[in-house]
């Protein structure tokens, strides 16, 4: 199959809008390259967060890349995309140049090229995310979480995932039972196991995500601790849990709050993320109605995360 690789130059403010336009135009997934997403080169404790040469390999401007099948409809789709970008330019929406670059590529090219930009990094103080194809020299006190996210299920680089991991690191206790709803690539489930959870039950409604998560559990040799299954919340009622974590979206968190409260052990903890700042109050209101007390709030970029007890 021949594909068109569509790259749009924008800025940090424009990446979400451009990503949405590319997807609506028929692109099968997008990749965002933005230097603003890189963490500081070191923490206050002095441990390095990412390979310092990574920024040198990234484009100067924020760039969103999507891949469009070169089928019978591609000309119409491409023309519509160009019209929408031109419309955004004419409206002066401060989204950068919005210049489109088009080139032909094959399946094997775009399926692997993104890996160049995915390097080991600390997602929290003690855990280092290491892509399965990378080598990494483990430092004292570090725990290695190896991951192969596939093309769409989470690399751990999103702010909402990082905040969940920071909260897990702060509150999880050895021997606890953990429930990970919407596990994606399994990063949070594996992180909880590395932090000492005695059992982690992870679920996702997407069968492909379940497949990816199970592969990553095997990569990290966590089959004896982590169970992964396809399904929604009613399908994962296997007793009570000390910690429930949901890195999803605000509306789903609001729906989950009440049924999850019945699955939490006494003084159990609900960690939720994927909450846009503009939806914070909506989620807080639902948590309050269902008897939760928020004990920690984190914010990063456009996103918020809560740790709440009940």
pLDDT score of 228 more than 80: yes
For residues 10 and 247, what is the distance between their CA atoms, to the nearest angstrom?
27
What SS3 state is found at 34? coil
Residue 287, token pair as written in the block: 């948590």
Residue 1, token pair as written in the block: 């199959």
Determine the topology of domain 153-309 in CATH: Rossmann fold (3.40.50)
pLDDT in tens, 40-58: 544 444 334 444 555 566 6
pTM of the model: 0.67
Q: Integer distance in angstroms from the first to the last C-alpha of the chain?
A: 52
pLDDT score of 131 more than 60: yes
Average pLDDT over residues 266-273: 95
Quick one: pLDDT at residue 121?
83
- The DSSP annotation for 263-310 comes to TEEEEEEEEEEEEEGGGHHHHHHHHHHTT-EEEEEEEETTEEEEEEE-
Determine the topology of domain 2-43+56-116 in CATH: Alpha-Beta Plaits (3.30.70)
Phi, psi for 22 (deg, rounded to 5): -60, -45
Partners of 272 in the beta sheet?
Answer: 246, 306
* Residue-range domain boundaries for the chain: 2-43+56-116, 153-309
């Amino acid at each position: 199959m021949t594909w068109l690789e569509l790259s749009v130059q924008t800025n940090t403010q424009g990446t979400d809008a451009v990503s949405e336009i590319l997807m609506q135009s028929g692109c099968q997934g997008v990749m965002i390259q933005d230097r603003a997403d890189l963490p500081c080169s070191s923490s206050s404790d002095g441990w390095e967060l990412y390979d310092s040469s990574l920024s040198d390999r990234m484009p100067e401007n924020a760039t969103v890349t999507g891949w469009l099948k070169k089928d019978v409809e591609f000309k119409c789709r491409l023309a519509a995309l160009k019209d929408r970008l031109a419309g955004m330019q004419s409206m002066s929406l401060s989204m950068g140049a919005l210049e489109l670059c088009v080139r032909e590529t094959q399946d094997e090219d775009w399926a692997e090229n993104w890996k160049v930009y995915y390097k080991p990094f600390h997602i929290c103080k003690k855990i280092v995310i290491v892509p399965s194809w990378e080598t990494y020299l483990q430092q004292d006190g570090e725990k290695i979480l190896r991951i192969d996210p596939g093309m769409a299920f989470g690399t751990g680089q999103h702010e909402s995932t990082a905040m969940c991991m920071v909260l897990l690191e702060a509150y999880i206790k050895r021997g606890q039972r953990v429930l990970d709803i919407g596990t994606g690539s399994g990063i949070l489930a594996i992180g909880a196991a590395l932090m000492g959870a005695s059992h982690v039950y992870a679920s996702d409604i997407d069968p492909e995500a379940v497949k990816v998560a199970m592969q990553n559990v095997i990569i990290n040799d966590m089959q004896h601790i982590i169970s992964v299954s396809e399904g929604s919340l009613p399908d994962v009622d296997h007793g009570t849990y000390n910690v429930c974590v949901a890195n999803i979206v605000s509306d789903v968190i609001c729906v989950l709050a009440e049924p999850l409260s019945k699955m939490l052990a006494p003084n159990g903890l609900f960690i939720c993320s994927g909450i846009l700042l503009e939806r914070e109050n909506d989620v807080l209101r639902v948590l309050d109605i269902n008897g939760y007390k928020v004990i920690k709030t984190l914010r990063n970029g456009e996103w918020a995360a809560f740790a709440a007890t009940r």
